[in-house]
Amino acid sequence: MLFVLFLSSVVMAQIDVSGTITDSSGETLPGVNIYVDGTQAGTVSNIEGKYTLSVPNKETVIVYSFTGMETEKRTVGDQMVINLVMREGVDLNEAVVTALGISKAKKALGYSAQELSGETTENSREGNILAGLTGKVAGVQVTSSTALGGSSRVLLRGAGSVAGNNSPLYVINGVPIDDTQFQSANQERSTGGYDYGSPINDINPDDIESMTILKGPTAAALYGSRAANGAIIITTKKGGSGANNGVGVEVNSGISFQSVYVLPDYQNEYGGGPSTNWADTIDGAFIPVYNYDGSWGPKFEGQTYRPWYSWDETDTENFGQTATWEASPDNIKDFFQTGVTTTNSFALSGGDQNQNVRFSYTNLNAKGTQVNSTLKRNNIGINASNKFSDKLSANVSGNYVQSIASGRPQTGYGESVMSQFTQWYQRQLDTDMLRDLYESADGSMRTWNRMSPTDASVNYWDNPFWERYKNVQNDQRDRLTGVASLSYKINDKLGITGRAMLDTYSDRREERIAVGGVRQAAYSENLRTVSDNNFDLILNYTNQINENINLTGIVGGNTRVSQVTQNLASTQDGLNTPGLYNLSNSIGSIDVDDIYRKKKVNSLFASATVGYKSFLYVDLTARNDWSSTLPEEERSYFYPSATASFVFSELVDLKVLSFGKIRAGWSQVGNDTDPYNTENVYVNSQPFNNSGSSTVGNELLNANLRPEKISSFEIGTDLRFFVDRVRVDLTYYNSVTEDLLFGVAQSSATGYSRRFTNAGKVKNTGIEITLGGTPVKRKDFRWDVDVNYAKNNNEVLELIDGVDALTLTSLFGVTLEARVGESYGTFMGTGYQTDASGNRLVDASGFYMATDERVALGTYLPDFTGGIGNTFTFKNLSLYALIDFQKGGSLHSYSNQWGKYSGTLEETAEGGIRENGIVVEGVYAPGVIIDDVDVSGQENTTNIDAQSHFFSNQGYVINEADQYDASFVKFREARLSYSLPPLFNNRVADVEIGIYARNIAILTKNAPHIDPEVTVSNGNIQGFEGGQLPAQRTIGFNLRFKI
Amino acid sequence: MINKIIYSTLIVLMLMLSACTKDFDEINSNPNGSTEISTGFLLTNAQKRAMDSSWDEWWNGRRGNQLAQYWASNQYSNESRYALRVDITNSYWTNFYAGVLQDLTEIIRLNEDFPEENQGYGSNANQIAVSKIMKTWLLQNMTDQWGDIPFTEANKGVSFPSPAYDSQEGVYDGLIAMLDEAINTIDGGAGPSGDQIFGGDMSKWAKFANSLKLRLAMRIADVDADKASTVANEAVSAGVFGSNADNALFEYLGGAPNNNPLNQDRITRNDFAASNILIDELLALDDPRIEYYAEPALNSGTYVGEVYGLTEADAATTLDDDISQRSQEVLAADAPGIYMDYASVQFFLAEAVERGFIAGSASDYYSEGIRASMEYWSLGSLTSDDINTYLAKPEVDYATVIAGSPWNEVIGKQKWLALYMQGMESWTEWRRLDFGILQDPAGGVLAGSGIPARMLYPTQEYDRNGNSVSAAASSIGGDLLDTKLWWDAN
């Protein structure tokens, strides 16, 4: 604070320029950006179109820019008042931040780069910048989890790698940052564990000035291998003078409420038990089968029965009580509460043309939709730059984040509460009783799934509230990200910049399993430190060679050092003292996993851009990397790119076409691998009986690795008509990744189930379309539409000789694979046997028949995705609505699979099926003989009972039965905001009040009972749904203003 | 001036980069494991993993003990109707080849290529011999489960990226040869360190090797009686197991992760119960082992087996308290896993006498097999009087029973009772001896036409080693559950 005041007090003698800005019709224009050319120092015009700006001297050039208007420049000279009439037009000098933070004119780009303003994600107030991207950018697929602080999976233009990373690189203010999630394999395939969220969530959405999405590798050639899947480049806000010059204060405050809204449709006719028989009766009350985790039990007919909580003699209030055997239609809904998230941020900024600083602080406080779960996050950011002289300038920015969570919800099949609710539950259970009675007087657990009236021990399922209150996880991440750079301008043409970039965090995760539940009591501590540091030195050159040719170029070098330490320790064999969560409380020896990884990459790079007049631009890049992860002979690898942009509208004057360009780009990107893949080491397992225990491991490593290669090509056009009223952006791309480095599956009979080598070839081709329009543009009313659409085709072309598939994971017989000839992420499993005309075959007992061979059931990659955003602006009122969609993509649902098996879902009790049985649709298989008659090919007439039907005709037996289309159309986002005129004599400006909602409704979907948007991690294993946390709807209020 | 700056910047960059790649080899050497190892650590791991993978809830609980019908499923009963999960087949194939066999192969390689560096962990010859004996045990189990398997080209890494399958006959020849090499090269030096089975006692390893040799010989008795007789005689004269003290066991410890895998599984799950096939047989014979094999049903206090092979719906409606659960002995944390025991050797010897391979009394071997089994399971609680009483029963007494039944029925049934918990071996002996005890699953079979004659090859082999496995499949007469193995002739 003192520092900021100091900065604002050193403002030198200046000239104050003021004025009023209007459009051609004479209306005043508020919100025009006004700044000193070449600096960040500036202001915006107020509601009356007026502005005041302090400038250093008469030579200062002031820039005026406003969307949809032609940017104007004025030299101050002797004018104290500069009034301006802005003309509608196309901003041809619109700049976009590209790789290495280089700002380029958009028209000069030979590749697709989409820029989003910080408001785009800020406005969605998700506390998660990635979720805010959903549906807004063509070719960007974002899938988000609903777990508190959960993950988002981002894919740009599909998946190119087989077993490696397919996520884009995130760069904040030039600092490449780590997004490794460290999730367990079980967590990824939805079989339990916690979703610790993507580390990228550490970024504060309120601090974002803009995001540029560089989708193909072309755009990212200068970031090197890590950006092979594209890059998301984030620029945070910088300092600038406030509404009244001097120190500006920005305040943003919001509260939002989350409620669950996609819950499975349960049946409410039958209660718990394996059959309609009661286990017993006592004093005229029925005793149900407590230890069965399903709802095939007696019909709800108001019978008197002894509930699970009526057997504990120490609970005098409930002991011996009876209850009425009836449905609890809302028992699952009642489990959830309304989540509340408050976000408060304020920022101080100030500066002039020589120095500016911005300090920001954000506090996020969230309470989840499941009881006893909280997330707290504090961000402190500072961004300061100083121009020491005309030649020397410095910039420092840093961000410290502390994120503390407790009681994150369990995810996946198994331990998630949804897993018992949908997959293994008794429909009569009353949530209030479970909540009140989860613990008995002596501290032991009381659960509905007790063994028997006399035996209170648990069979399969803990009381869900015991799970929430006793098995509480905790985690904390402390992260520091920063950059310091020093630039020296040697002369008009040449400059040099040195930068040190730092990203380091520690992450501590504690997981607890209390004594007394179904699982063995345990405590684990996972400690990780991650650091990724980059140092670079860049020489840049700009020269207007003659009036037609402009040349810019850079030459630079970079060193990257990345280190990870992991200490994963857990108790074994239970805990000695209940309730003490300390590793020393382990009954058995402590299990420790101690891992250190380091890698270093040195790079040299160069790029040159030649502009001819203002319509032809050619951009060439070259980079050479030296990576410590590759063997000495292959350590050095080179990769180039070439792109061109041709602005043909500069040559021909078409009335309708206000801007037109075609662009084309080609690039190759080399890629290294993870550390330690060149030599096998013996790996320790747990010692046994005083002997060490070691193994050679299942993967054969390889001293003859080569770098991976990704070649891509894209061509596109950017057209704007009727003075920007209609905007069209089209891209076609084709990308082939080959010589991929991964553990290729091989016959285990070789002694190793995988061999790490160069293999495989994956092709992605696709188109992206972005359409923008302003159908209505009146004095007080404006309607903007943005539509984006992307279609990607992915095919695994080859793996390695003799190998057809690599299994990414498998569960209950369904495998997720990279399979030659199929799309990446293909599910394989048994299907229905069918006849030539597609009728399902039925055996003599009336059951469907599963194929002997496993068949491809679909891929988790969608056919196409997109979104439609509408913005209506009426005077100071603005309404934004976003609908997004996905067509295709496939998922395997364990909620459906086991929910049918256990009789909790609606269809297991529909249409009297439990009383009358069912005749499934299909024809008898060839050779089926019933009552000595060959009925092959005839329509099935065999009636089977409902329970057998749902045991044998669902996805556990015929995997295809629970494979679903993941298509959806969602009403994703809506926001109504109102901008107030400046208050208190212009002291308070930019006042905006907003009401917003996210995930408002699923308009259509094909997967029953669940939200087809399925993810619990940011990794390659996707599309398995088990115990999905219900989708959440968010409604929030937001206020922001500047002082 | 400008040029100087450009050049000096470039020079600085180049210097920085060339200086910085010097330490790359060091940076990329893995600090999380070692490139050198005590071979004893590999042996410990191989022995434990071999038993874990053979004894656990998946391979033994859902397969071995159900194929032998000792246990029945009260959840997911499709497995007991022979809908065997492909992903389990895949992962155990990998456990065996890439896990156990590769570690054993590595011990042999290290001793052959670097004898001096490794003789501190037991004499080179003894380390190699023990590894070969262990390999033989596991590979015989595998060929008895699948038929033709990769053998000659197996565990040779990149030399054979797509290992061919050897015929089962070839595998048997190879295993007998490998055992002979092991037996003949055992020397007077120290036994291997890290040995969890016999603590490095090479005389016991020799007995185990000869007992395995007897097992190999007897398995092929129906297809090559001459060879079987020769090999069996060699084994017997060299010295097979002489008492329960010779048993090859893996003694689990009390606590995780070194406890018995079935104990670990039972902490959170109870998917199996004693089957009616087992309980009914034990009850019919009033067999005292019943209390060591199973628990009385909680509700009735009597022994009631769960019907074997129920449909999922029927299994779900069977209440745990109404049926006999598995015994404490079987589920104890320190319950040992059995590689091979003295009792099974005695039954082989009884059979060898009946087949005329060796001299002696089939009745004595048979009775000694039962006695050994009872002593092992009761830990001496059953006295010789108890055992003699049982042996004297008309349904048990050899002379009495053999008068009315062929020897394969008589020996087979008692061997089946003695092989409890060694499900895979028991299923194998049932296929070979064809005695009547096992029944078709009550809910009918879901795959194949009856009790399987083998297991299907792993689907991952079709993806990764397609030509080899397809050749093997056609060579054995089809990759089907019903395809009989080479030695399963009668």
DSSP classification of residue A560: E
DSSP string, A582-627: SGGGBSSPPEEEEEEEEEEEEEEEEEEEEEETTTEEEEEEEEEEEE
Smallest CA-to-CA distance from A673 within A740, A764, A603 is with: A740
Q: How far apart are CA A1040 and CA A309, in angstroms?
A: 51
Give pLDDT, residue A119.
Answer: 66
Q: Inspect the interface and report whether the beta carbons of A750 and B154 lie closer than 8 Å.
A: yes
Which of B16, B36, B317 shows the shortest C-beta gap to A557?
B16
* Residues 6 or more apart whose Cβ sits within 8 Å of residue A437: A309, A315, A318, A446, A463
Q: Is A802 on the interface with B (CB under 8 A)?
A: yes
Locus of tokens 């019709």:
A25
Closest A-chain CA to B47 = A693
Tokens found for residue B457: 């090859």
Tokens found for residue A921: 């649709």
Rounded mean pLDDT, A655-679 = 90
In B78-97, the residues whose Cβ lies within 8 Å of chain A are: 78, 83, 85-87, 90, 93-94, 96-97
Contact A614, A608 (CB under 8 A): no
- Give me the interface pTM, i.e. the ipTM: 0.93
Give pLDDT, residue A8.
Answer: 35
Chain B hits for A749, CB-CB cut-off 8 Å, are 93, 97, 149-150, 153-155, 163, 461, 465
pLDDT at residue A185 greater than cutoff 80: no
Q: Is B19 on the interface with A (CB under 8 A)?
A: no
Q: Is A519 on the interface with B (CB under 8 A)?
A: yes
pLDDT grade for A896, boundaries at 50, 70 and 90? very high
Q: If you average pLDDT over each of A17-31, A248-262, B128-142, which comes out highest?
A: B128-142
Smallest CA-to-CA distance from B422 within B76, B70, B44, B137 is with: B70
Which of B90, B156, B444 shows the shortest C-beta gap to A750?
B156
Give pLDDT, residue A9.
Answer: 34
Q: How far apart are CA A1015 and CA A147, in angstroms?
A: 10
Locus of tokens 């197996």:
B154
Contact B428, B434 (CB under 8 A): no
Q: Inspect the interface and report whether the beta carbons of A815 and B38 lie closer than 8 Å.
A: no
Query: Radius of gyration over alpha carbons of chain B, in Å?
Result: 26
- Out of 2.40.50.140, 2.60.40.1120, 2.30.30.40, 3.90.1170.50, the CATH code matching A2-89 is 2.60.40.1120
Q: Is A700 on the interface with B (CB under 8 A)?
A: yes
Which of B14, B154, B257 shows the shortest C-beta gap to A749?
B154
pLDDT grade for A75, boundaries at 50, 70 and 90? confident
Task: Dump pLDDT digits (tens) for A671-699.
Answer: 899 999 999 999 888 889 888 999 998 99
In A833-892, the residues whose Cβ lies within 8 Å of chain B are: 845, 854
Give pLDDT, residue A1009.
Answer: 94
Query: Radius of gyration over alpha carbons of chain A, in Å?
Result: 31
Can you name the residues that pair with A670 across neighbouring β-strands? A709
Chain A hits for B5, CB-CB cut-off 8 Å, are 490, 494, 496
Give pLDDT, residue A468.
Answer: 95
Which of B87, B253, B270 shows the shortest C-beta gap to A810?
B87
Beta strand extents in A76-216 (DSSP E only): 84-86, 95-97, 103-105, 113-117, 140-144, 152-156, 169-172, 175-177, 208-214
pLDDT at residue A6 greater than cutoff 60: no
pLDDT at residue B19 greater than cutoff 60: no
What does the domain layout of chain A look like in residue ranges?
Answer: 2-89, 122-260+347-412+468-825+860-889+968-1042
- Cα separation of the two ends of chain A: 15
pLDDT at residue A481 greater than cutoff 50: yes
pLDDT grade for A1, boundaries at 50, 70 and 90? very low
Identify the H or E element spanning B135.
helix B124-146
Beta strand extents in A861-967 (DSSP E only): 864-874, 877-887, 890-893, 923-924, 929-930, 933-934, 963-965
pLDDT at residue B140 greater than cutoff 90: yes
Determine which of A590, A686, A750, A853 to mutate to test the interface with B (most B C-beta atoms within 10 Å): A750
β-pair type (A231-236, A248-260): unpaired
In A454-493, the residues whose Cβ lies within 8 Å of chain B are: 459, 490-491
Rounded mean pLDDT, B153-157 = 96
Determine which of A524, A690, A696, A959 to mutate to test the interface with B (most B C-beta atoms within 10 Å): A696
Rounded mean pLDDT, A153-160 = 78
Identify the H or E element spanning A692.
strand A691-695
In B351-380, the residues whose Cβ lies within 8 Å of chain A are: none
Determine which of B9, B325, B464, B465 to mutate to test the interface with A (most A C-beta atoms within 10 Å): B464
Average predicted confidence (pLDDT) for chain A: 87
Q: Domain A122-260+347-412+468-825+860-889+968-1042 class?
A: mainly beta
pLDDT at residue A243 greater than cutoff 50: no
Chain B hits for A588, CB-CB cut-off 8 Å, are 255-257
Contact A638, A604 (CB under 8 A): no
Q: Is A587 on the interface with B (CB under 8 A)?
A: yes
Q: What's the pTM? A: 0.85
Rounded mean pLDDT, B426-449 = 94
Locus of tokens 């630079």:
A556
pLDDT at residue B219 greater than cutoff 80: yes
Q: Inspect the interface and report whether the beta carbons of B87 and A813 lie closer than 8 Å.
A: yes
pLDDT grade for A221, boundaries at 50, 70 and 90? low
pLDDT grade for A809, boundaries at 50, 70 and 90? confident
Give pLDDT, residue A127.
Answer: 60
Contact A624, A636 (CB under 8 A): yes
Q: Inspect the interface and report whether the beta carbons of A626 and B24 lie closer than 8 Å.
A: yes
Q: Is B394 on the interface with A (CB under 8 A)?
A: no
Where do the H-state alpha helices sit in B220-304?
225-238, 261-268, 276-284, 290-293
Q: Which domains does chain B have, with CATH numbers?
A: 85-250 (1.25.40.390), 269-439 (1.25.40.390)
Cα angle A415-A826-B63, degrees, rounded to a multiple of 5: 55
Give the lowest-confidence range in A19-33, A1020-1034, B358-372: A19-33
pLDDT at residue A595 greater than cutoff 90: yes
pLDDT at residue B249 greater than cutoff 90: yes
